[in-house]
Structure 1
Amino acid sequence: MILTVTPNPSLDRTYELPALDRGSVVRATGERVDPGGKGVNVSRAVAASGRRTVAVLPLGGAPGALVADLLAAQGIEAAPVPVAGATRSNIALAEADGVLTKINAPGPELSAAERELLLETVRLRSRGADWIACCGSLPRGLAPSWYADLVARAHAAGARIALDASGPALLKALPERPDVVKPNAGELAEAVGRPLATVGDAVRAAAELRERGARAVLASLGADGQLLVEDTGTWFGTARVAAVRSNVGAGDSSLAGFLIAGGTGPDALASALAHGAAAVGLPGSVMPAPADLDPAGVTVTSQVPLERVLTEPVKGPVKGPVKGR
């Protein structure tokens, strides 16, 4: 069983557009409403694979009630934490050429009692979990050290932790030794405070996160592939993508694929690549089922192309929230 923790879930509306023409009326060619948040997406991908998952998340107001209904409709076991504020609603605009524009709301502010109830719910529901995946931005009311506290408590209970966070929340959690962290290229550059121009730069940045405490680093380099750095070795992989429809939730699907396959080694990286590649070919934040995967289109090697230039050089520290959270 994979338990997911999403401190700042959302109700996600995705509109497919021919093109985004600012200042004009644009008619959507497609529309989807999905339960959202990075941990929620991991649960949805795990459920789509036919495996058990439990989603812990604070929910409030009419949007929160709809999120709960949507999760139930997808057969996902939810462990909602009632909160006074309304769950946020996010909007994604997916253009026909693959360009995606996201508008993410801040979400409610959690009270001290709600913060403690969230931690206690994780503790109660984590019994028997193979992995706990803690994912996404922190809502107002949660300090950047909240993930660090959660990792420490989970390890004390004997659970393995996968952390998909960024900025101070990621850095403060590293000394608690999460079992795997999953930054994208921008988050990796931000964490080490310098630009990443090559795959070799990304490898060195991942090694630095491991020196700070992460036991393994699964780094998404976008169209350039994915990188896994852990005690047993370093692997690099790419996946064939026929067409891009939406990259909403693709990284979350990738993390789900990694954990489903055991969460370590080249086979887990191959599963991550297959799930991520399948997700970008689906509309909105639809999570891939086994029939959507193309394992033959995945290549994983221990011969890491260190000198390969990244398609888009990744800048160093950014100001404000990291894109995609």
Structure 2
Amino acid sequence: MSSFTRFSRFSRPLLPALGLFFALTLPGCGTRSDGETADTKATAEVPVQPVVVDSATLKKQVMLRDSLLADSIMKKSGQLPGAILPGKRIVAFYGNIRSKGMGILGREPKEQMFRKFEKVLAEWRAADPSRGVQAALHNVTITAQGTPGKDGKWRLMNSKATIEEVISWAREHKCILFLDVQVGHSTLAAELPKLEQYLKQPDIHLGIDPEFSLATMPGVRPNQRIGTYDAKDVNFAVSFLARIVSENNLPPKVLTVHRFTRKMITNYKNIKLDPRVQIVMHMDGHGEPTLKKDSYHDYIVKEPVQYTGFKLFYEYDARPKPHHIMTPQEVIALTPSPLYIQYQ
């Protein structure tokens, strides 16, 4: 969510390590197809053609074998080692540590914010003692902007110092960290590689926000219209994370996908699951409880993908009174019960 005004249908005036990567064995150049070793004379009379390796094809073959192994483990055990969901419920504070306007993460002084967070975590533990709680920070790391910038892409990435600082905050308080991406007029293919060095770390996960994906809307400024991702975009993010998991022997990554309208995600049935990536479709709308429940039902439950999430807004959900921010008990009672909870 950017630092300028957000669109929502509820804002009525506005719109454990597991190594899965295998080397593909190629035939030795000095061996014939019948298994006999060619002698010097034969080699001179019949020149041996060099083996040409198509790196793109090789990578596809390796990833296919890798994915099949992951699938077999998934079928046997239900999930890969180190998976957070569904064993725990993730509870996150969202925002940007350099912005007071983007969410609770960054709005208050650090120690004050973490004291509030500890109280929230305790409420969730008490509301559902049967399921552990995994604390998380969710930092918007590539943010949609109100100006196009030098390359005309309408987005800006946090500095290395800011990213490293929020990583230190998370680890200091035993939180996992989500790096959230608002691409503006760029694409996931262009932006996600910028975060790969961080996503190689086992406690860092990813969020993508269709609201600010405007590549299909030339000339539209972020926040003028609600953006969109297709299933192919989500699949790109899944494949990107799955490769990182495999190449770095990591536990599964969690991918959160924000959503509060139907058009924000198109062709949801084509989203492909991979046991190396746990997909959370995240209800991101604000408003009074009835509207939030309706949105959860219409855009998350009716178009299921894998796991579900639910956002709570400190500034907007309680307006006007007597509306209130939904309690952990109210959110847990939803069907299905969300396993990713985000406070903004």
Q: Give the shorter-chain TM-score range.
A: 0.3 to 0.5
Structure showing the higher strand proportion among its residues? 1
Normalised TM-score (structure 2): 0.35
Normalised TM-score (structure 1): 0.36
